[in-house]
């Protein structure tokens, strides 16, 4: 038969009443006679009427869309975050627009642009590790689209963000190693421009200092987080004249590459050199020689919390209420050392 979707106008015509009456009847408005309401609702179901959310959103300036941008979902860490985001968003009927930057600044900008044009209500962003220019984020600010940054946050003022408290986890890690008798502890860090790298380094240095352990500069190397970068960083450490007896890696993927290299060099994993890393990816449980411990960063919870903050922002800032005191959420979720191999 016919095919166009039925609208309230259709219903109105068939019933010889006005659009507005239909609209009200459908939303159970109090001031509508029981009879008309019934007639309208019945015809509506008969005709398979479904409100066009698009039109409603258009009118109400509210899309129920959240834009999510992150480097990649192929890392378990990030896909867990997305799950956390999704679960909270769904409860409030928001849907996710997803974009992967692939650690490419240009791509990140393009995605931001697209999502802005789609008039998302708000955005959750974890920046690309190569992003140094922040004008696209400023653009969103100008457009009054709230952003909550997560995990990889830009070096900007006056932003909302949530990330892991890495210093505490790092401290636990160092203490753990020292208690086991290790003294030559090295760090394979990430790119220097990432705040996450700075935090790890700072936490590492502080923890070492607190334990009064000397930290020669060559014990800290860094990787761009590509496989090649991880390998070369590991080689640097392995070739040191005073080889480390413990290595803390930026995350589990770095650790896996490092362990693979160490094995090739006949190093006995977690005996000659003890490995610890960040993220606590489940996948490590399938390895014969996983890092001995990993610092759990609770990505799912981070995703949940980021979304809660964003939704709060969306629902409690009815335009320009109190311009004078914009409160910025800056949350650091505690991280926690999880020991995989206890012996």
Partner DNA sequence: CTGTTAGCGCCTTCAC
Partner DNA sequence: GTGAAGGCGCTAACAG
Residues that bind its own copies in the complex, under the rule CB under 8 A: 3, 5, 48, 50-55, 57-58, 63-65, 68, 72-74, 76, 79-80, 82-83, 86, 90, 93, 95-100, 110, 114-119, 142-144, 256, 259-260, 283, 286-289, 319-320
Of 38, 56, 265, 283, the one binding DNA (CB under 7 A) is 56
In this structure, what token pair is assigned to residue 156? 């900007």
Q: Is the dihedral of CA 181, 184, 190, 193 positive or negative?
A: positive
Which entry of its own copies, DNA, none binds 242, CB below 5 to 8 A by partner kind? Answer: none
Angstrom distance (rounded) from CA 88 to CA 313: 14
Ordered alpha helix ranges (H), 92-146: 105-117, 135-142
Strand partners, 330: 161
Minimum distance of DNA from residue 92's CB (angstroms): 18
The reply to whether 212 sits near DNA by the rule CB under 7 A is: no
- From the list 51-59, 99-107, 127-135, 305-313, the region that binds DNA by CB under 7 A is 51-59
Minimum distance of DNA from residue 294's CB (angstroms): 49
Secondary structure of residue 130 in the 3-state scheme: coil
Which entry of DNA, its own copies, none binds 44, CB below 5 to 8 A by partner kind? Answer: none
Closest CB to DNA among residues 60, 157: 60
The pairing of beta strand 336-339 with beta strand 293-296:
antiparallel
Closest CB to DNA among residues 11, 293: 11
Of 1, 59, 320, 328, the one binding DNA (CB under 7 A) is 59
Minimum distance of its own copies from residue 82's CB (angstroms): 6
Of 55, 265, 282, 339, the one binding DNA (CB under 7 A) is 55
Residue 326 is classified by DSSP as: P
Q: Match 């090739």 to its residue by tokens.
A: 264
Q: Is the dihedral of CA 129, 158, 334, 204 positive or negative?
A: positive
Half-sphere exposure at residue 186, Cβ-oriented, CA atoms within 13 angstroms: 26
- Encoded one letter per residue, x for contact with DNA by CB under 7 A and - for no contact, window 11-50 reads -----xxxxxx-xx-xx-x-xxx-xxx-------------
Which entry of its own copies, DNA, none binds 264, CB below 5 to 8 A by partner kind? Answer: none
Minimum distance of its own copies from residue 176's CB (angstroms): 23
Secondary structure of residue 300 in the 3-state scheme: helix
Angstrom distance (rounded) from CA 234 to CA 253: 13
In this structure, what token pair is assigned to residue 70? 């992150």
Secondary structure of residue 249 in the 3-state scheme: strand
Angle, CA 326 vertex, CA 321 and CA 332 arms, to 5°: 140
Closest CB to DNA among residues 58, 90: 58
Note whether 285 and 257 are within 8 A (CB). no
Which entry of DNA, its own copies, none binds 180, CB below 5 to 8 A by partner kind? Answer: none
Q: Which residues bind DNA (CB under 7 A)?
A: 4-5, 7-9, 16-21, 23-24, 26-27, 29, 31-33, 35-37, 51-52, 55-56, 58-60
């Amino acid at each position: 038969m016919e095919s166009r979707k039925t609208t309230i106008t259709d219903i109105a015509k068939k019933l010889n009443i006005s659009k507005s009456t239909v609209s009200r009847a459908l939303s159970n408005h109090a001031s509508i006679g029981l009879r008309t309401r019934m007639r309208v609702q019945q015809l509506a179901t008969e005709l398979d009427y479904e409100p066009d959310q698009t039109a409603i959103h258009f009118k109400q300036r509210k899309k129920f869309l959240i834009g999510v941008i992150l480097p990649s979902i192929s890392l378990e860490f990030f896909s867990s975050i997305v799950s956390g985001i999704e679960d909270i968003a769904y409860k409030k009927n928001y849907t996710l627009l997803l974009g992967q930057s692939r650690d490419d600044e240009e791509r990140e900008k393009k995605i931001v642009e697209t999502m802005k044009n789609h008039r998302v209500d708000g955005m959750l962003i974890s920046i690309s590790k190569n992003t140094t220019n922040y004008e696209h984020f400023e653009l969103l600010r100008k457009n009054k689209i709230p952003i909550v940054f997560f995990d990889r946050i830009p070096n900007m003022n006056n932003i909302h963000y949530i990330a892991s408290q890495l210093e505490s986890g790092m401290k636990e890690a160092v203490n753990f190693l020292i208690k086991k008798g290790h003294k030559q502890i090295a760090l394979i860090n990430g790119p220097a421009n990432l705040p996450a790298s700075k935090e790890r380094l700072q936490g590492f240095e502080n923890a070492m200092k607190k334990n009064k352990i000397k930290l020669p500069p060559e014990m800290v190397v860094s990787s761009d987080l590509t496989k090649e970068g991880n390998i070369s960083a590991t080689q640097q450490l392995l070739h040191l004249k005073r080889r480390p007896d413990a290595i803390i890696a930026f995350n589990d993927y770095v650790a896996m590459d490092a362990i693979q290299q160490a094995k090739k060099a006949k190093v006995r994993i977690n005996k000659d050199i003890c490995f610890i890393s960040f993220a606590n990816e489940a996948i490590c449980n399938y390895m014969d020689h996983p890092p001995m411990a990993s610092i759990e960063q609770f990505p799912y919870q981070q995703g949940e919390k980021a979304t809660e903050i964003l939704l709060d922002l969306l629902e409690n800032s009815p335009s320009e209420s109190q311009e004078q005191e914009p409160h910025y959420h800056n949350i650091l979720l505690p991280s926690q050392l999880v020991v995989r191999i206890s012996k």
